[in-house]
């Protein structure tokens, strides 16, 4: 859950708390990139569990970004002497949301989630075919 601040400050800060309320992108940026590391791979071979290294770095090609900037600029009417052409309000809303959330957040988040999905596919691809694994687990414990 994210909460926009009300009143004061112009409302241009989005506050989000830690814990279960974080989005996946925020979580990934923290726990895959930061924190104390132990020599995972030595341990992994000991216990026979595969852990994937997940290097989720999202690089948006510069040209792509440039075109987005140009598009945002193109939608601005800098020469209208205050007379807004019809429909500009809609366009401007679009602009605010497109770069703000589309590029910086939505797209990144989308890419991250995509990456995680991919990992899930790689790691958990056979999930549906192995219900016996869960049973085995219960018996062992």
Tell which positions 24-83 bind another protein, by CB under 8 A.
24, 26-28, 30-38, 40, 43-44, 46-47, 49-54, 58, 60, 62-63, 65-74, 76, 78-79
Q: Which is nearer to another protein, 40 or 110 (CB)?
A: 40
The answer to the question of residue 18 lying near another protein (CB under 8 A) is yes
| Count of residues touching another protein (by CB under 8 A) | 78
**Mask for 77-116, x = binds another protein (CB under 8 A):** -xx------------x--xx--xx--xx---x----x--x
Phi/psi of residue 86, nearest 5 degrees: -55, 135
Q: Write the DSSP string, 39-100.
A: -HHHHHHHHT-------------HHHHHHHHHHHHHT--TTSTT-PPTTHHHHHHHHHHIII
Tokens of 79: 């020469």
Q: Which is nearer to another protein, 8 or 87 (CB)?
A: 8
Give least dist CB 139 to another protein, A: 11
Phi/psi of residue 55, nearest 5 degrees: -105, 90
The answer to the question of residue 1 lying near another protein (CB under 8 A) is no
- Would you say 47 and 54 are in contact if contact means Cβ atoms under 8 Å apart? no
């Amino acid at each position: 859950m994210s909460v926009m601040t009300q009143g004061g400050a112009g409302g241009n800060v989005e506050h989000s708390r830690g814990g279960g309320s974080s989005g996946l992108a925020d979580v990934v940026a923290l726990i895959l990139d930061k924190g104390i590391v132990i020599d995972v791979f030595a341990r992994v071979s000991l216990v026979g569990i595969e852990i994937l290294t997940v290097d989720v770095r999202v690089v948006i090609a510069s040209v792509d970004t440039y075109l987005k900037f140009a598009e945002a600029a193109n939608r601005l009417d800098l020469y209208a002497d205050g007379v807004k052409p019809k429909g500009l309000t809609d366009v401007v809303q679009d602009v605010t949301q497109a770069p703000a959330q589309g590029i910086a957040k939505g797209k990144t988040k989308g890419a991250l989630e995509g990456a995680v999905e991919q990992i899930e596919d790689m790691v958990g691809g056979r999930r549906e075919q192995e219900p016996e694994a869960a049973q085995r687990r219960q018996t062992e414990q």
